[in-house]
Structure 1
Amino acid sequence: MRFMSSLAMAAITTTLLVGAASAEQVHVGFAAEPYPPFSSPDASGNWSGWEVEFMNAMCDAAKLDCVITPIAWDGIIPALTGGKIDMIVGSMTITKERKKSIDFSDKYYSAPPGIVGAKDLKFDATPGTLAGKVIGVQVGSIHYAYAHKHYEPAGATIRDYPTQDEANNDLLAGRIDATEMDRIAISTFLKTEQGAACCELKGMVEFDPEVLGEGVGVGLRKGDKELKSKVNAAIAEIRKNGTYDALSKKYFDFDIYGG
C-alpha cells in the first residue's frame, strides 16, 4: 500500500512539473541591439533596463516563466509569427500596419518622437526646416516610416540604420544632421557626455496617428487569446498595485505611461 501510494504520488508530481513547464514557459523576443534605458545586455549576456524589469513584473503577475530571446529588430516580427518566440517586449508601437500581421496587448507606455540635431545647426521638427538635411532613422521603426512619409518629400535625405545607436554615432561624428527617436531615448542620449556636448532637442514631431500609433504594447501572435488575456490582466495588475510606478521612478522623472 505504501509502495503504491509513493508511486502514485511520484507520478502525480512528475505530471504536474511537466505540465507546468510546458504550459507556463514563454519565449520573449527582445531586440538584440542595446536600447538603453529599456534593455541592454552585459558581457555575460545578462539583460537589464526598464523594459526588462517591466517584463519580469508582468510575467510574475501573469504566473509565466518568461525567457528572454534576443532577436535582430528587423526579424523580430517574423520570429513571432514563425513560432520562434511567443511575444515581443521591445518598445514596439501599436500601429495599423503591424496589426495586419500580429496582435498587441494593451499599451504599457507611450513616448512621442522628436528630432535631435547638432547645436550649431538651425532647424526644428517641421519638414520645411529640414529640407536639405540628412536625417538618420532606424529601419523598421515608426521613425523610419515617419521620416520617409513626412521629411523625405519635403527635401530631406533619409539615411537608414540597423540600430538607433549607429544613427546616434553618425550624428556625433557629424555624418548626419539629425535623427528621430522617441522622447525617452532622446532624454537618455542627451544625458550622455557626448550627446550633451554635441546635440539638442530641436522639437517634437507633429503627431500622425497612422504612423505613430497608439502607444507601445506587447506583440503577440494573432489568435493567441489566452496569452493576450493573461498579459493584459498582468499589466492592469502591476499598474494598480504600484509596481509599475515604483520601477518606472528608478529610470524616469516623468510619467512614462502617458495620457
Structure 2
Amino acid sequence: MHTSIKAALALLAFTPAVNALAETPLKIGISGEPYPPFTYKAASGEWTGFEVELAHAICAELERECEIAPTGWSGIIPSLQAGRIDMIMNSMSITEQRQRVIAFTRPYYFTPGAYVAASERELTVPDDLDGLVMGVQSATTNATYARRALRDSGVDVRLYDQAEQVNSDLLAGRLDVVLADEVAMLQFLERSEAEGFEIKATAPHHSAYGEGIGIGLRQEDEALNAALDEAIAAVVEKGTCGELSEQFLGTDVCVYP
C-alpha cells in the first residue's frame, strides 16, 4: 500500500481516539476534607465554594466538562502524577519546591497567612510566641513558613492533617494560636463559637508562600496548562473571579494581570 494512503488511514483511525479524549471530563482534584469557604459541601450534598465554582467557570471557558474529584490532601500530588485526577485546584501555593515535581498555571488568587488567638491574649509576632503551642495544617505553605521562619521563636508547632482539626483544638483550648490562610480564618471567626478569638497578625511576605495560588498540573500537560492560563485570564478579566470571591470570601483576592 502506498505510504501516503497508510498515513491517511492511520490518521482516520487515530482521530476518534483524540476526539474521545477531548470529550472526557477533566477531573479536578480538591481535598476530600472540606475547606470552607473555598471548598465544602452544600446542604444538597454537592461540592461548592469559591474554588469549586471558579473551577466550573474556567471549564466553561475551556468548553470542557469537568468533574470534582475529592482526594485526601496528603495524597493529592501523587494522585495527579498517577493520572487519577487531571489538575489540582485547592488553594495550592506555587512554590519552588512543588515546581520540582508538578507544573502550575498562572496564579488566580493570593492571601497571606494569619495568626489567630483568643482576643484577651496579648500577642506580638514573633516575640510573644515563645512557649506557646501553635497549630498548623501539615503540607501547607503555612507549615513551611513555620518551619523556616519560626524555628528560633520558641513556639511549639503542632501539625494536623485537616484544617478543621486545628480549629477544633483552638476552640477547645488545646492550642494557644493558629497559623492559617487569612480568608479561611475570617470565615472561621464568623462562627458563634469563635466569638472570643481574633486575628492578631499576618505573616510577612516570605519565599515559603510562593507566588500565589495556581492550578497544579502534570509537567507534561503543556497544552492544558496553556489553555488554563487563557481561561484563568478570561474569568479574571470578565469579573467572574472577582464576583465569586466577593460572594464566598467577602473580598476580592483574585490576581489581576
TM over 0.5: yes
Counterpart Cα distance in 2 of 1:20 and 1:44: 33
Q: Which residue of 1 aligns with 2:117?
A: 117
AA of the residue aligned to 1:160: L
Runs of 4+ aligned residues of structure 1 deviating over 4 Å after TM superposition are: 18-21, 42-45
Q: Is the 8 A contact 2:29 2:89 kept in 1?
A: yes
1:42 shift after superposition:
4.4
Conserved in 2, the CA contact under 8 Å of 1:58 and 1:238?
yes
Structure 2 residue matching 1:251: 3-state secondary structure: helix
1:172-218, Cα deviation, whole Å (9 max, x unpaired): 000000111111111101111112x221101011221x201100000
Q: Is the 8 A contact 2:58 2:235 kept in 1?
A: yes
Question: CA distance change for structure 1 residues 44 and 245 in 2, over 3 Å: closer, same or farther?
Answer: closer
User: Residues 87 and 169 from structure 1, CA distance in 2 versus in 1: closer, same or farther, beyond 3 angstroms?
Assistant: same
1:134 is aligned to 133
Amino acid at match of 1:85: I
Q: Which runs of 5+ in 2 are unaligned?
A: 1-11
- Aligned partner of residue 169 in structure 2, secondary structure: helix
Contact kept? 1:29, 1:85, Cα under 8 Å: yes
Aligned residues: CA RMSD: 1.8
| Deviation (angstroms), 1:28 | 0.9
* Counterparts of residues 151-170 of structure 1 (less than 5 Å): 151-170=150-169
How far 1:90 moved relative to its partner? 0.4
- Paired with 1:63 and 1:248, the residues of 2 have a C-alpha distance of 22
- 1:199 is matched with 197
Q: Any conservation in 1 of the 2:137–2:163 contact (CA below 8 Å)?
A: yes
What runs of 5+ residues in structure 1 fail to find an aligned partner?
A: 1-11
- Listed as ranges, the matches of 1:1-259 within 5 Å are 20-24=19-23, 25-42=25-42, 45-124=45-124, 126-195=125-194, 197-208=195-206, 210-258=207-255
What CA distance in whole angstroms lies between the structure 2 residues aligned with 1:254 and 1:156?
Answer: 31
User: Would you say the 8 A contact 2:242–2:253 is kept in 1?
Assistant: no
CA distance in 2 between partners of 1:218 and 1:225 (Å): 13
Sort the Cα spacing of 1:116 and 1:90 in 2 relative to 1 into closer, same or farther, 3 A. same
Deviations 1:7-66 (A, max 9, x none): xxxxx9xx86x7544214211100001011111124764101111110000001011211
Deviation at 1:152, TM superposition (A): 3.1
Q: Give the conservation status (yes or no) of the 8 Å contact 2:37–2:249.
A: no
Cα distance in structure 1, aligned partners of 2:203 and 2:244 = 28
What is the rounded CA distance, in whole Å, between the counterparts of 1:134 and 1:158 in structure 2?
6
Give the fraction of aligned pairs with identical amino acids, expressed as a percent: 37
Return the TM-score normalized by structure 2: 0.89
Greater displacement, 230-239 / 38-47: 38-47
- Normalising by structure 1, we get a TM-score of 0.88
Task: Single out whichever of 237-246 and 185-194 deviates more from structure 2.
Answer: 237-246
Which amino acid in the other structure matches residue 65 of structure 2? D
Post-superposition shift, 1:249?
2.3
